[in-house]
Amino acid sequence: MGQTLAEKILAGHSSKSTVRPNDFVMAKVDLVLGNDITAPVAINEFLRLEAKKVFNKEKIALVCDHFTPNKDIQAAEQVKYVREFARKHEITHFYDVGLMGIEHCLIPELGLAKPGDLIIGADSHTCTYGALGAFATGVGSTDMASAMALGKAWFRVPLTQRFNYTGKLKLFVSGKDLILFTLGVIGVDGARYQAMEFGGKTIDDLSVEARLTMANMAIEAGAKAGLFAADKKTVAFLKSAGQNVAEIKPDPDASYYKVYDFDVSELEPQVAFPHLPENSKNVGEAKGIKIDQVVIGSCTNGRIEDLREAAFILRGRKVNKNVRLIVIPGTQKIYLQAMAEGLLQTFVEAGAAVSTPTCGPCLGGHMGILASGEVALSTTNRNFVGRMGHPRSEVYLSGPYVAAASAVAGEIIHPKEVL
């Protein structure tokens, strides 16, 4: 019997020919990731283990992105602690202000996640790298610490659900809409400690950027990982990052716990209502909901393709006088590319504020906190109670097209209605 992508990767990293769901394995990792919130806790545990050095300075990435540029003294101390650890252990992949980007935008851009890799990160959205054919999953800071010392981590092999999508997507419908729709079907616990494997003709036609968006939100269904076959598009994407990689696919006779088949040819842009990503509805059902703030960016939708979509809507238009629009390119490279293409000028002329790369408002950190009673529409990945500020604020989720159009209209609206 063949293996799913998750099984194939976990078997290869634990020196086994095959593994099956619910097997326990100790596997070698290719990358250990931490950020300015989670890494300090992991460093404390690393020191408690009395480890003398990291297992491989080339296979650890420390990205200061959540509260940077530092929002207060505590944030500055956190980053200083990480910075000193990175210097002491000569960590190759340490990224601070000026070099850093939002970690899950930066790692693919640098070619640090590759098909067939096993990656753990002390951040729940580490599952993003499944878009490149890697088994990537979020862990706690204690697991991160032991992996920094030993280069290994234990896993229970997950069951895999397969999601097949067919049909040509309508204009203004993208990867964000596919994953919000899927969450609406299976719910926020619909893949708890399971792998989500995405495929089908619609997925084949998606850009790698759109796949990264979908994999990013696998955790919003409780999934351990969200995986895509690495195809020619993946190979080309990573070649541009200086990596020569091979395609990787699940076996044709792989066995799945569940299989979903979706014809998405009639799918409309989606909006997730408060306070769960599973509360996904067609954008028409949200029409008329007044908004105070729009955020376009994050590890979910902060890539150049996302900024192009937003700029397509905003070009020649103005942000509604009652709305604050914040645009956050995911990395310095994306920032420069957006500048070269005139996207930043489009945003500023429309009345948006453009930020340096940061997670900022996504987790209610800084750069756009909501007050009591305020309503935001965001291209981020979570809309829990108090996620972006006051517990009596509300967050709706959408893709960049809907977010940009709604910023112009002052209310949630279908993009075609502002063109």
CB atoms within 10 A of CB 356: 16
Q: Are residues 279 and 350 in the same domain?
A: yes
- Residue span of the structural domain in which 384 resides: 271-417
How does residue 283 score in pLDDT terms, banded at 50, 70 and 90?
very high
> Among 301, 307, 283, which Cα is nearest to 409's?
283
Q: Are residues 20 and 82 in the same domain?
A: yes
Average pLDDT, integer, range 43-59? 95
Q: Report whether 247 contacts 231 (CB < 8 A).
A: yes
Percentage with pLDDT > 90 across the chain? 99
Q: What is the CATH number of the domain that holds 83?
A: 3.30.499.10
> Among 28, 209, 224, 222, which Cα is nearest to 118's?
28
Q: Report whether 193 contacts 158 (CB < 8 A).
A: yes
DSSP 8-state secondary structure symbol assigned to residue 124: G
Q: Are residues 211 and 280 in the same domain?
A: no
The gap between the terminal CA atoms of the chain, to the nearest Å, is: 52
Number of domains making up the chain:
2
Q: At what angle do helices 332-340 and 304-314 cross, to 10 degrees?
A: 40
Query: pLDDT tens digits for 98-107?
Result: 999 999 999 9
Give the chain's length. 419
Query: 3-state class of 258 per DSSP?
Result: strand
Q: Report whether 297 contacts 326 (CB < 8 A).
A: yes
Q: Are residues 283 and 345 in the same domain?
A: yes
Amino acid letter for position 412: I
DSSP 126-190: GGGGGGGT-EEEE--HHHHHHHHHHSEEEEEPPEEEEEEEESPPPTT--HHHHHHHHHHHH-TTT
Q: Are residues 154 and 296 in the same domain?
A: no
Q: Are residues 329 and 347 in the same domain?
A: yes
Distance CA 30, CA 353 (A): 38
Q: Are residues 251 and 292 in the same domain?
A: no
Return all residues near 381 (Cβ < 8 A) that are at least 6 apart: 125, 216, 217, 220, 277, 298, 299, 300, 362, 397
Q: Are residues 244 and 372 in the same domain?
A: no
* 168, 171, 177, 182: CA torsion to nearest 10: -30
Average pLDDT, integer, range 300-326? 98
Out of 242, 262, 282, a domain closes at: 262
Out of 232, 262, 292, a domain closes at: 262
pTM for the model stands at: 0.97
Q: Are residues 257 and 319 in the same domain?
A: no
Q: What share of the chain is helix, strand, coil (3-state, %, to 5)?
A: 35, 20, 45
Distance CA 328, CA 262 (A): 32
How does residue 59 score in pLDDT terms, banded at 50, 70 and 90?
very high
Q: Are residues 304 and 391 in the same domain?
A: yes
Q: Are residues 384 and 251 in the same domain?
A: no
Bridge partners of 293, per DSSP, are 324, 376
Query: 3-state class of 21 per DSSP?
Result: coil
Q: What is the pLDDT of residue 1?
A: 80
Out of 262, 280, 310, a domain closes at: 262
Q: What is the pLDDT of residue 21?
A: 97
Query: pLDDT tens digits for 327-381?
Result: 999 999 999 999 999 999 999 999 999 999 999 999 999 999 999 999 999 999 9
Q: Are residues 242 and 145 in the same domain?
A: yes
Average pLDDT, integer, range 159-164? 98
DSSP 202-248: HHHHS-HHHHHHHHHTGGGGT-SEEEE-B-HHHHHHHHTTT-----B
Q: Report whether 398 contacts 176 (CB < 8 A).
A: yes
Work out the mean pLDDT of the chain and round it to a whole number: 97
Burial of 71 (0-12, 13-18, 19+ CB in 10 A): middle
CB atoms within 10 A of CB 240: 10
Task: Provide φ and ψ at 23, rounded to 5°.
Answer: -65, 150
Query: pLDDT tens digits for 221-274?
Result: 999 999 999 999 999 999 999 999 999 999 999 999 999 999 999 999 999 999
